Amino acid sequence: DGGITQSPKYLFRKEGQNVTLSCEQNLNHDAMYWYRQDPGQGLRLIYYSQIVNDFQKGDIAEGYSVSREKKESFPLTVTSAQKNPTAFYLCASTSDHSGQPQHFGDGTRLSIL
């Protein structure tokens, strides 16, 4: 079955460390997105990519970085510059350039030790 795979499901990071969250899709979708979900905050866009080798900052890109070397992969790195990284991270994709995510992954919960 086609879908989005995020790994790991739970991730722990020590302060000062960078950590990379994986997002892989086999839907052949062009556009991929990273959202951060905090209680009472809804979903906020971190980065998005509409095509391979291209990506744009979302609303809260500071302290994060991404790459899009392959169509099916859109990893997110949470750097030590991100002051409050504890959150639930969702990856999404869509087949067009409408900006509307159609499929979501199961998410990765990141916690700081």
Q: Is 7 in the site for other proteins (CB under 8 A)?
A: no
> How large is the greatest C-alpha to C-alpha distance in the chain, in angstroms?
39
Is residue 7 within 8 Å of residue 73, measured between CB atoms? no
Least distance (Å) between residue 50 CB and other proteins:
10
Among 19, 21, 23, 45, binds other proteins (CB under 8 A): 45
Which whole-number Å values give the CA distances from 94 to 19, 41, 80, 97, in the listed order?
25, 23, 30, 8
Binding mask 58-87 toward other proteins (x if CB under 8 A, else -) reads: x-----------------------------
- Site residues (vs other proteins, CB under 8 A): 35, 40-45, 48, 58, 90, 92, 97-102, 104-106
